[in-house]
Structure 1
Amino acid sequence: MAELSKSIDLQPIISQPPNHDLDVSFQPVSPGYPELPTTIPSQVTDYLPLSLFTMVYCCFPIGLFAFLYSMRVREANLLGDQTRAQRASRLVCVLNALAITFGLITLLAILLLVFLSP
């Protein structure tokens, strides 16, 4: 042990008095928040308002499925799963088109029955 202390040159640490001539300002330390991604992935359209419209005014069963798949698109967008969001979005678009077509055909049939009945 004595040999180790002889090989290392131990010198006392001399503390220096603070130099008040320097104007040093300290910045407050910010809390460690995680870094946000610099690029936000593109959001796939969820057609939620259209799904609500078709569910209420056109065809409830088809509109209900469109609404549920719209929620899946929204969830996939939040998770960043673009493939699942795109698939569900295409299905929502098709379901909304079917519901609107069914609603218009039903409305046209009702109008024809009302105006053409004797």
Structure 2
Amino acid sequence: MKFTILALFLMSFILVDAVGYKKYCKNKKYLVNGKDIPHLHCEKDAFMLTWGSKKNKRHAYFVQSNVVRCNKLNEVLNDPGRYRFNKVPAIEEAMIRFGVDEECFD
């Protein structure tokens, strides 16, 4: 019985890690269609905003190789006009949720 409980406990960490940052994209790879600009890209070890134009895509990395970049998140949130995420409320909400979860805000 103890072994079963221990196995389930350890398995829960593996499953949580596999989801990674997809929880901010409703457990999908993208929040908003990946072809639309702007959109969030959520992976196991990466979380970023794709912005700009379809011909000139740019990326703001909030997590890259599991390294959280709160400074980039704060930069983006403080300039919605430049990054154009304010057109899609779900993107702003997801970024704020991420910032709260990662303790990016003072």
TM-score, normalising length: structure 2: 0.26
TM-score, normalising length: structure 1: 0.25
The higher relative CO (CA closer than 8 Å, separation ≥ 6) is in: 1
Structure with higher helix content: 1
* Structure (1 or 2) with the larger CA radius of gyration: 1
Structure with higher strand content: 2
